[in-house]
Amino acid sequence: MLALLYKDWSIIKKTRALYFSLFYFFIIIPAMQNGSFLPRNYSTDFFFIFVVYLLFSYLAAYDYKYNGHVFIPAFPVTKKKIVEARYIFASITFLSCLVILQIIKAAILLIGKQQLTLHGMINYEQTGVLFLIFGLFFGVILPVYYKLGYQKTRWFMFIAMIIAIVIPSIITSAGSSLDSPIFLLLSVLAVLLFFSVSIKISVKFVNSVNM
Amino acid sequence: MYNVLEVTGLVKNYNNFRLEGITFNIQRGYIMGYIGPNGAGKTTTINLILGILNPDGGQIRLFGEDVETSPASLKERVGFVIGETAFYEFLSAKEMAGIIARFYKRWDWKAFDRYMKIFELDKNQKIESYSKGMKIKYMLACALSHNAELLLLDEPTSGLDPVFRSELMDIFQEIISDGEKSILFSTHITSDLDNIADYVTFINNGSIVFSDDKDSVLSRFSIVKGGRDQRENVMRTDKIVGILNSEVGFSALTNDREWFLRNPEKGVVLEKASLEDIMVHYVRGNKNAGLAV
Helix axes B109-118 and B93-101, enclosed angle (nearest 10): 150
Q: Is pLDDT at A73 greater than 60 in this prediction?
A: yes
Residues 76-105 on A with a CB inside 8 Å of B are 76-79, 81
**pLDDT at residue A172, rounded to an integer:** 62
Q: Indicate the residue of B14, B80, B99 with minimum beta-carbon distance to A10.
A: B99
Which stretches of chain B score pLDDT less than 50?
290-293
pLDDT in tens, A49-61: 778 888 888 888 8
Asked if B52's CB is within 8 angstroms of A211's CB, the reply is yes
Q: Is pLDDT at A36 greater than 60 in this prediction?
A: no
Average pLDDT over residues A14-41: 66
What phi, psi does B183 have (nearest 5°)?
Answer: -135, 135
With bands split at pLDDT 50, 70 and 90, how would you rate the model's confidence at A44? low
The answer for residues whose C-beta is within 8 angstroms of residue A173's C-beta and 6 or more apart is A41
With bands split at pLDDT 50, 70 and 90, how would you rate the model's confidence at A42? low
With bands split at pLDDT 50, 70 and 90, how would you rate the model's confidence at A192? very high
Q: What is the ipTM of this complex?
A: 0.82
The answer for residues whose C-beta is within 8 angstroms of residue B208's C-beta and 6 or more apart is B21, B22, B23, B24, B201, B202
Q: What is the C-alpha separation between B179 and B39, in angstroms, rounded?
A: 32
pTM of whole model > 0.95?
no
Average pLDDT over residues A95-99: 86
* Mutation for B interface: A67, A146, A203, most B CBs within 10 A: A67
Helix axes A79-111 and A181-208, enclosed angle (nearest 10): 150
pLDDT: which is higher, B133 or A211: B133
Q: Is pLDDT at A39 greater than 50 in this prediction?
A: no
Check if B90 contacts A (Cβ < 8 Å): yes
Strand B207-213 versus strand B199-204 pairing type: antiparallel
Average pLDDT over residues A18-23: 79
**pLDDT at residue B286, rounded to an integer:** 66
Q: Indicate the residue of A7, A71, A210 with minimum beta-carbon distance to B15.
A: A210
**pLDDT at residue B59, rounded to an integer:** 93
Asked if A7's CB is within 8 angstroms of B99's CB, the reply is yes
**pLDDT at residue A211, rounded to an integer:** 62
What phi, psi does B150 have (nearest 5°)?
Answer: -130, 125
**pLDDT at residue A35, rounded to an integer:** 46
Average pLDDT over residues A84-94: 92
**pLDDT at residue B268, rounded to an integer:** 83
Average pLDDT, chain A: 80
Asked if A74's CB is within 8 angstroms of B80's CB, the reply is yes
Ramachandran region, residue B139 (left: φ > 0; alpha: ψ -120 to 50; beta: rest): alpha
Q: What percent of chain A has pLDDT over 70?
A: 81
Check if A16 contacts B (Cβ < 8 Å): no
For the beta carbon of residue B156, count every other beta carbon within 10 angstroms: 25
